[in-house]
């Protein structure tokens, strides 16, 4: 692209938009880092640029482009729900002024044109791109519909069926596909700006009548119409953005049913409804929370020095195999080491089977699988780890086994290699202490299935070096994970919170709720799965072992539910044994209610002297969710998580908390901290010391009171 020096002659149209005239072309340049978001000053600047270009007879054509990495990343999301978002001119007006300009306006797209950025480009008469550009209307991912005419112009440009697919999925398309769809008019490789200026001038000379999408008739030719009913049925009601997807279909339908201006009105009406609602606010919170969580600024962190190019994985079980796939999928070579041939063969067979499932579903080609499998070298010899940059240990969850393994890794691995453990709950400081390099030891807590789940808890030990953390955070992003930095404690962030959540579920069972009622209530709240079905999936024996390990540390005056223990005592460990809180038929994961368990629960309640009563769904949701919130607040207080939003990122991406509620901490904030504090104090009074309120919540409530006018 053109350098800054070329713009010495450029004059500002606003704080974020420059204007220049060259060779009969007016260049309007958006310069609003980091992604040229369409904030108020950008909208104002572009509108003024169009007026100026229109007024100068020497200008034959207009080119609109972005400074920096991208053309435009869309509306400035941070400005939503503020006065700046609705400051005049709105994007609708800007787009109409572009569309009605009598000189050809060409969008010059590099990097991305997303959301409002693509809507801006759609208002231009022509669009050209470089070959690496990506385009899309991803608003549904934020719980929104496009609000700047995208749902009305895109169907007019590429047909209703393709437009409906792009708008409801929120997916990006690359320049090549965009060209095939007719979304862009040309792709240029070198000096995009110069090529775009030449293109604009040639259009001015050869095309006296400009293509204006607003003037095009929909519906398009027969055969291109989508089946709107099928589109509706195809929406997964549990999808984080189901509401926005339904609204997007309505918008596209309006493009067919209504005149252009009325279609714009309908789109705006739905946009405004969604942007004011909690689901979109929550999804926008998640967008920024996930970006924030991945940030780590430490001392002495020259990450460029420490790229992770080769990884050793110890243990080819459930986790080791999935972790190997996660790296192989990102093109990073892996050495997978087991203690015996049979386990290694089993692990590799499982990896192969998982890949074959992707091939049979059309997600991967056979060649891609071959390439990925070639990235996974197998061995029974630990010395194969001598040259790797990072080792991830995924052997049994047993401190003695882990210590033994780390002594060996310390001996074999080269200086500077990172030694990581995938432990779910064990103390990383204890593991680090058996090595001569505790600074290089870290926890990398992947979630199962590790090749699919996006969350990665990066666990910082007492002595872990900042540079090691920074390298791991960067590696996580490179393999498509969402990293969250956490400190050492029992269960880190996610599993620690789960303890309180399951504790309340156990108490509620004793008090009179049924297994199905608890799961149904939590699913109705929005969880992907209820807590008890989830426990069956994870395996009840794992938590039983943890409870036994921690039994001596449990305060005797605190209430304890024996329900989970008594289920385990029957050899019922969940899905893997065909029975847990539910029973399961062979080869089928559907939970079936089991009167045997109901009888066990009644016995536990009787032994504990609890008189069973009718428990409401509201009580179930309140106690389970507030248990998460209170523990999450403690975790923030103790510095185990860096920020409350990190707790949300963990819980949404690892534990099925509904993203459209923004995670437990954001949800609590939207309820209001004063109200949350009052509810937890009440639970403390009624249900005892498990409910001692976290001081962090008291602070939030006080801040809220002080902030009131
Ligand atoms: N509004 C406001 N800020 C935005 C933004 C937007 N539309 N898009 C990105 N940003 C911010 C990010 O929060 C980040 O800020 P930070 O540096 O303070 O953390 C910064 O821009 C860079 O974004 P990042 O995602 O880290 O850069 P990238 O190069 O990996 O990706 C995009 C750039 C544009 C592809 C990506 O940010 C994206 O998909 N943005 C959302 C686009 C969208 O949904 N637009 C429709 C809005 S309705
Ligand atoms: P698993 O039993 O499926 O696999 C463990 C593997 O390690 C086995 O194949 C075993 O043969 C191998 N192994 C044991 N000792 C070894 C040694 N000395 N050298 C080489 N290989 C050895 O266990 P898993 O579920 O994959 O769990 C592994 C680790 O990941 C545990 O620490 C566990 O807590 C953690 N984890 C598990 C999950 C989960 O959902 N399963 C989730 C997150 C973290």
pLDDT tens track for 454-501: 999 999 999 999 999 999 999 999 999 999 999 999 999 999 999 999
The CB of 315 under 6 Å from ligand 2? The reply is yes
Give residue 84's pLDDT band: very low, low, confident or very high (50, 70, 90). confident
- Residue 673 has a pLDDT of 98
Ligand nearest to the CA of 119: 1
Helix (H/G/I), strand (E/B), else coil: 18: strand
The CB of 459 under 6 Å from ligand 2? The reply is no
- Edge-to-edge order in the sheet of strand 441-446: 376-379, 334-337, 311-314, 390-393, 418-421, 441-446, 455-460, 482-487
Share of the chain above pLDDT 70, in %: 97
The CB of 343 under 6 Å from ligand 2? The reply is yes
Q: Which one, of 303, 474, 324, 314, lies nearest residue 406 by Cα? A: 314
Rounded mean pLDDT of 537-544?
Answer: 93
pLDDT at 630 over 60: yes
Which structure tokens are listed for 541? 């024996």
Please, which residues have CB within 8 angstroms of residue 579's CB and are 6 or more apart in sequence? 570, 572, 594
- Residue 243 has a pLDDT of 93
Q: Quote the ligand 2 centre to 585 CA distance (angstroms).
A: 27
Backbone φ and ψ for 311, nearest 5 degrees, come out as -125, 140
Per mean pLDDT, which range of 3-17, 164-178, 501-515, 631-645 is the poorest? 3-17
Which structure tokens are listed for 194? 């110069």
DSSP letters, 585-612, are -TT----B--HHHHHHHHHHHHHTTPPP
Rounded mean pLDDT of 564-586?
Answer: 97
Buried b (16+ CB within 10 A) or exposed e, 531-567: bbbbbbbbbbbbbbebeeeeeeeeeeeeeebbbbbbb
Ligand nearest to the CA of 68: 1
Q: Which one, of 510, 483, 504, 501, lies nearest residue 538 by Cα? A: 501
Helix (H/G/I), strand (E/B), else coil: 316: coil
Q: Quote the ligand 2 centre to 567 CA distance (angstroms).
A: 24
The ligand 2 atom nearest the CA atom of 421 = 32
Q: Quote the ligand 2 centre to 571 CA distance (angstroms).
A: 21
Q: Quote the ligand 1 centre to 335 CA distance (angstroms).
A: 35
The ligand 1 atom nearest the CA atom of 134 = 35
CB 62 within 8 A of CB 23: no
- Residue 4 has a pLDDT of 41
d(CA 479, CA 669): 32
d(CA 706, CA 700): 10
Q: Quote the ligand 2 centre to 370 CA distance (angstroms).
A: 25
pLDDT at 6 over 60: no
Give residue 221's pLDDT band: very low, low, confident or very high (50, 70, 90). low
d(CA 74, CA 136): 10
The CB of 338 under 6 Å from ligand 2? The reply is yes
User: Is residue 273 annotated as a catalytic residue, yes or no?
Assistant: no
Q: CB count, 10 Å around CB of 166?
A: 27
Structure confidence by residue, pLDDT tens digits, 420-452: 999 999 999 999 999 999 999 999 999 999 999
The CB of 314 under 6 Å from ligand 2? The reply is yes
- Residue 709 has a pLDDT of 84
Share of the chain above pLDDT 90, in %: 88
d(CA 329, CA 352): 13
d(CA 382, CA 642): 35
Q: Identify any residues that bridge with 187 across adjacent strands, giving them in sequence order.
A: 129
The residue nearest atom 28 of ligand 2, judged by CA position, is 394
Structure confidence by residue, pLDDT tens digits, 248-303: 999 999 999 999 999 999 999 999 999 999 999 999 999 999 999 999 988 766 65
Q: For ligand 1, which residues put their CB under 6 angstroms from it?
A: 34-35, 37, 70, 73-78, 112, 114-115, 138-139, 142, 144, 288, 291
The ligand 1 atom nearest the CA atom of 295 = 19
The ligand 1 atom nearest the CA atom of 287 = 13
pLDDT at 107 over 80: yes
Ligand nearest to the CA of 443: 2
Rounded mean pLDDT of 109-124?
Answer: 98
Q: Quote the ligand 2 centre to 425 CA distance (angstroms).
A: 13
Q: Quote the ligand 1 centre to 294 CA distance (angstroms).
A: 14
Q: Quote the ligand 2 centre to 407 CA distance (angstroms).
A: 17
The residue nearest atom 8 of ligand 2, judged by CA position, is 317
The CB of 397 under 6 Å from ligand 2? The reply is yes
The ligand 2 atom nearest the CA atom of 346 = 9
d(CA 170, CA 138): 4
Ligand nearest to the CA of 141: 1
User: Is residue 177 annotated as a catalytic residue, yes or no?
Assistant: no
For a substitution probing ligand 1, which of 34, 121, 140, 281 has the most ligand atoms within 8 Å of its CB?
34
Rounded mean pLDDT of 30-52?
Answer: 96
Give residue 5's pLDDT band: very low, low, confident or very high (50, 70, 90). very low
Please, which residues have CB within 8 angstroms of residue 504's CB and are 6 or more apart in sequence? 623, 624, 627
CB 284 within 8 A of CB 77: yes
The ligand 2 atom nearest the CA atom of 405 = 18
Ligand nearest to the CA of 341: 2
pLDDT at 224 over 80: no
- Active site residue: 99, 139, 622, 631, which one? 139
Q: Which one, of 323, 216, 302, lies nearest residue 263 by Cα? A: 216
pLDDT at 1 over 60: no
d(CA 483, CA 444): 9
The CB of 577 under 6 Å from ligand 2? The reply is no
- Residue 288 has a pLDDT of 97
Structure confidence by residue, pLDDT tens digits, 662-700: 999 999 999 999 999 999 999 999 999 999 999 999 999
Q: Quote the ligand 2 centre to 351 CA distance (angstroms).
A: 15
The ligand 1 atom nearest the CA atom of 73 = 34
Per mean pLDDT, which range of 146-155, 484-493, 551-560 is the poorest? 551-560
Please, which residues have CB within 8 angstroms of residue 269's CB and are 6 or more apart in sequence? none
The ligand 2 atom nearest the CA atom of 337 = 20
Query: Looking at 159-220, which runs of residues are DSSP E strands?
Result: 172-174, 186-187
- Residue 219 has a pLDDT of 62
DSSP letters, 452-514, are T--EEEEEEPTT--HHHHHHHHHHHHHTT-EEEEEE-STTTTHHHHHHHHHHHHHHHHHHT--
- Active site residue: 20, 99, 119, 504, which one? 119
Ligand nearest to the CA of 447: 2
Based on its alpha-carbon atoms, the radius of gyration of the chain, rounded to whole angstroms, reads: 29
Average pLDDT, whole number, for the chain?
Answer: 94
Give residue 194's pLDDT band: very low, low, confident or very high (50, 70, 90). very high
Check residue 574 and report its DSSP letter: B
How far from 127 is each of 17, 123, 214, 216, 299, CA to CA, in Å? 19, 9, 16, 17, 45
* C-alpha 583 chain-centroid distance: 33
CB 470 within 8 A of CB 304: no
The residue nearest atom 39 of ligand 1, judged by CA position, is 73
The CB of 545 under 6 Å from ligand 2? The reply is no
Structure confidence by residue, pLDDT tens digits, 350-365: 999 999 999 999 999 9
Q: Quote the ligand 2 centre to 707 CA distance (angstroms).
A: 49
Per mean pLDDT, which range of 57-61, 289-293, 543-547 is the poorest? 543-547
Structure confidence by residue, pLDDT tens digits, 289-337: 999 999 998 876 665 567 899 999 999 999 999 999 999 999 999 999 9
């Amino acid at each position: 692209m053109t350098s800054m020096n070329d713009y010495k002659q450029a004059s500002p149209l606003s704080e974020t938009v420059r204007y220049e005239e060259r060779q009969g072309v007016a260049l309007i340049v958006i310069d609003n880092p980091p992604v040229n978001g369409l904030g108020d000053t950008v909208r104002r600047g572009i509108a003024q640029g169009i007026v100026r270009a229109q007024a100068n007879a020497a200008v034959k054509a207009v080119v609109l482009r972005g400074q920096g990495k991208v053309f435009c990343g869309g509306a400035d999301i941070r400005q939503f729900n503020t006065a700046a978002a609705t400051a005049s001119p709105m994007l609708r007006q800007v787009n109409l002024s572009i569309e009605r300009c009598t000189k050809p306006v060409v969008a010059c797209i590099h990097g991305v044109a997303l959301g409002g950025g693509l809507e801006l480009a759609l208002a231009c008469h022509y669009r050209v791109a470089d070959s690496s550009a990506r385009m899309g209307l991803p608003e549904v991912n934020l719980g929104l519909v496009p609000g700047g005419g995208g749902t009305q112009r895109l169907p007019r440009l590429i047909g209703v069926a393709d437009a409906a697919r792009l708008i409801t999925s929120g997916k990006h398309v690359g320049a090549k596909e965009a060209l095939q769809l007719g979304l862009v008019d040309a792709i240029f490789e070198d000096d995009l700006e110069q090529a775009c200026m030449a293109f604009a001038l040639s259009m001015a000379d050869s095309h006296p009548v400009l293509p204006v999408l607003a003037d095009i008739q929909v519906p398009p030719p027969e055969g291109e119409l989508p089946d709107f009913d099928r589109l509706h049925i195809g929406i997964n009601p549990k999808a984080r953005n189901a509401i926005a997807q339904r609204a997007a279909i309505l918008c596209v339908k309006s493009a067919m049913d209504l005149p252009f201006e009325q279609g714009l009105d309908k789109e705006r009406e739905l946009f405004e409804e969604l942007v004011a609602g909690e689901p979109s606010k929550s999804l926008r919170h998640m967008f920024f929370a996930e970006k924030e969580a991945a940030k780590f600024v430490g001392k002495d962190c020259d990450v460029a020095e420490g790229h992770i190019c080769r990884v050793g994985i110890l243990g080819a079980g459930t986790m080791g195999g999935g972790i190997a796939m996660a790296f192989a999928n990102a093109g990073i070579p892996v050495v997978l080491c087991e203690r015996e041939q049979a386990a290694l063969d089993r692990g590799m067979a499982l990896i192969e089977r998982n890949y074959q499932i992707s091939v049979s579903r059309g997600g991967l080609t056979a060649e891609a699988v071959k390439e990925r499998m070639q990235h996974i070298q197998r061995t029974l010899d630990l010395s194969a780890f001598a040259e790797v940059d990072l080792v991830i240990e995924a052997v049994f969850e047993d401190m003695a086994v882990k210590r033994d393994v780390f002594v060996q890794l310390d001996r074999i691995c080269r200086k500077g290699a990172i030694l990581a453990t995938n432990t779910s709950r064990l103390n990383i400081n204890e593991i680090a202490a058996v090595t001569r390099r505790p600074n290089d030891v870290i926890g990398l807590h992947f979630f199962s299935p590790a090749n699919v789940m996006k969350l990665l808890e990066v666990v910082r030990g007492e002595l872990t070096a900042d540079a090691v953390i920074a390298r791991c955070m960067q590696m996580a992003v490179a393999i498509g994970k969402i990293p969250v930095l956490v400190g050492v404690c029992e269960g880190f962030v996610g599993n620690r919170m789960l303890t309180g959540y399951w504790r309340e579920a156990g108490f509620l069972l004793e008090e009179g709720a049924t297994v199905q009622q608890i799961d149904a209530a939590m699913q109705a709240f929005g969880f992907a799965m209820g807590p008890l079905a989830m426990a069956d999936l994870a395996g009840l024996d794992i938590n039983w072992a943890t409870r036994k390990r921690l039994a001596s540390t449990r305060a005797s005056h605190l209430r304890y539910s024996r329900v989970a223990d008594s289920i385990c005592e029957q050899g019922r460990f969940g899905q893997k044994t065909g029975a847990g809180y539910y029973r399961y038929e062979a080869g089928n994961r559907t939970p079936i209610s089991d009167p045997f368990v109901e009888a066990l629960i009644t016995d536990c309640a009787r032994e504990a002297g609890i008189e069973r009563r009718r428990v409401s769904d509201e009580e179930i949701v309140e106690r389970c969710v507030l248990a998460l919130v209170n523990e999450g607040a403690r975790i923030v207080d103790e510095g185990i998580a860096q920020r409350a939003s990190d707790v949300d990122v963990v819980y949404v991406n690892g534990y099925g908390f509904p993203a459209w509620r923004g995670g437990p901490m954001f949800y609590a904030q939207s309820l209001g901290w004063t109200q949350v504090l009052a509810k937890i104090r009440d639970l403390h009074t009624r249900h005892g010391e498990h409910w001692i309120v976290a001081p962090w919540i008291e602070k939030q409530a006080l801040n809220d009171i002080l902030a009131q006018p």
